[in-house]
Amino acid sequence: MKESPADIARCLDLADVSRHAAEEFVRLANEATVANGRFTVALSGGSTPKALYTLLAGNAFRTRIPWEKVHVFWGDERCVPPDHADSNFRMVRESFLDHAPIPKENIHRMHGEEADPGKAATSYEATLGETFGLAPGQLPRFDLVLLGMGDDGHTASLFPHTAALSETKSLVVANYVEKFGTHRLTLTIPVINHAAQVIFLISGGSKAAALKEVLEGKEDPQRLPSQFIQPVTGKILFIIDHAAGTGTFSSPEGQGVKQMRSQYGCF
Ligand code: 6PG
């Protein structure tokens, strides 16, 4: 992250992170809809964004989003059926899609159930081609890509020292992840870095060491893949809570977390 200092919203806890992210989502959804007539968002899997998804579909935010113009995609997916406990689609459906009036035809799921993960990746690439009207070799420009980060510095399904980290042509790949002994479907780095806005949601003390290394440590993206995420013309925002930011809270005020700056109820 050495090139340009990342934009960081420092929040108190996961609830604050989720509220801040929901405000950003509303802002971006309305701006994109006014500018382009729709809002394209690649959603993150994992557990951190669940609270955000529930908030967006809840009373405080649901009336502020032009749902019929929202197109949802996934940043990555496990190679399991859509009703499997590990499915990112299932997590998003239960916390978000079952409660928000997004038209069915605007929900673009990765088919993790496909027996051949390579075929699933190719077919999602075709979905991107159709929905974004891409010419051969053209990258889709998501209005927003939501990402989480693992305690090993991975993001989406871009895990340390895996083949996907070197992919420069495909939009979507089936990435073999040794530590799970399985493939994962994931958007590739060029696609994520072509987004208008990338937002990392990072919460919890287990992420603090990796986050400090990603933001302030030596450039080593093969070991810390989140360092590969540097939008070419778009923006990047890290929305982090106190526990995740402990290592990076050494603010100029010197007192770190005690001198919190507040923004949107975040610190
Ligand atoms: C996934 C995610 C993955 C996730 C991180 C953080 O499929 O699991 O895409 O990249 O964002 O592993 O996960 P938590 O939010 O559960 O900590």
The predicted-structure confidence for 220-240, as pLDDT tens digits, reads as follows: 999 999 999 999 999 999 999
Give the distance, in angstroms, between the CA of residue 100 and the centroid of all CA atoms in the same chain: 19
Centre of ligand 1 from the C-alpha of residue 29, in Å: 23
Regarding the beta carbon of 245 and ligand 1, being less than 6 Å apart is answered no
Protein residue with its CA nearest to atom 11 in ligand 1: 148
Protein residue with its CA nearest to atom 13 in ligand 1: 46
Residue to substitute in 88, 95, 155 for testing ligand 1 pocket (most ligand atoms within 8 angstroms of CB) = 155
The span from the CA of 172 to the CA of 167, in Å, is 9
Q: Over 80: is that where the pLDDT of 184 sits?
A: yes
Pick the closest to residue 171 from 237, 123, 224 (CA basis): 123
pLDDT bin (cut points 50, 70, 90) of residue 256 is very low
End-to-end CA distance of the chain: 21
pLDDT value, residue 248: 73
172-177 vs 70-74, strand pairing mode: unpaired
DSSP for 136-156 reads: TTPPP--SEEEE---TTS-BT
In the structure encoding, which two tokens stand for residue 138, read together? 């053209």
pLDDT bin (cut points 50, 70, 90) of residue 255 is very low
DSSP letter at 228? G
Give the distance, in angstroms, between the CA of residue 71 and the centroid of all CA atoms in the same chain: 15
pLDDT digits (tens, 9 = 90+) for 44-91: 999 999 999 999 999 999 999 999 999 999 999 999 999 999 999 999
pLDDT value, residue 4: 53
User: Is this prediction's pTM over 0.75?
Assistant: yes
Regarding the beta carbon of 156 and ligand 1, being less than 6 Å apart is answered yes
pLDDT digits (tens, 9 = 90+) for 130-171: 999 999 999 999 999 999 999 999 999 999 999 999 999 999
In the structure encoding, which two tokens stand for residue 212, read together? 């400090």
The span from the CA of 201 to the CA of 244, in Å, is 10
